[in-house]
Amino acid sequence: PYVLLNYNETLVNQFTLVHEMGHAMHSYFSNEANPILDSMYKIFVAEVASTVNEVLLQEYLLKNETDKKKRMNLLNHYMESFKSTVYRQTMFAEFEMITNEMAEKGESLSADALCKVYFDLNKKYFGDAMISDDLIAMEWARIPHFYYNFYVFQYATGYSSAVSIARRILKEGRSAVDDYMKFLHSGCTKDPVSLLQIAGVDLNTPAPIEAALKVFEEVLDEMETLI
């Protein structure tokens, strides 16, 4: 696999590079270890390797950074990742669920109706502390994911799984790395949930999601302390 990107030595570029290398690594190991029919991993696990790399980089930088402002920048980046990948994608999934239910009931999916659903969800997810201006109601129209199969929830499960895997690697070392490598080599030889179990993540329970949200809480607590 090739990774094609512009690299300008910024922090964002560092995260982009390790993210895309995660995809390349996952594809390389899957293709190497399996016949073609079993090599193409499902979208449910497609963002796991890339995000494991991001979380490992994030944890490494935090471990080695003592400057207060730089540390706050890293913590903010960590929280933004959670916000955009876990909370926001879950909001997107709920938007899709509501609008599909409307269609099944024979209700009109007019622009006004979709704007109202989206605006109400923004207020629900971001709360009273965030001003939901009128224009945010139209944001649904520019989200390309909504024009594909129902899959955005997998960003949230993928990120939560990645946080659990990365934390396990940092805590347990070699045994966790070995399990993770088995996962990367497995392609689509099993269903996605079973594949993640190889890496120590069981999405049959809420534990991985709860563990990821606990990490978010820790990051938020430290940011509040530094502020």
Q: Active-site positions?
A: 20
> How large is the C-alpha radius of gyration of the chain?
19
For residues 21 and 53, the answer to whether their CB atoms sit within 8 Å is yes
Q: Which amino acid is at 138?
A: M
- For residue 163, give both structure tokens: 């946080």
Helix 68-82 and helix 11-33: axis angle, to 10°? 50
Q: How far apart are the first and last CA of the chain?
A: 43
- The residue among 207, 199, 213 whose CA lies nearest residue 45 is 199
Give the Cα-Cα-Cα angle 136, 142, 79 (nearest 5 degrees).
65
Which single residue is written with the structure tokens 């007019």? 110
Which single residue is written with the structure tokens 């895997």? 165
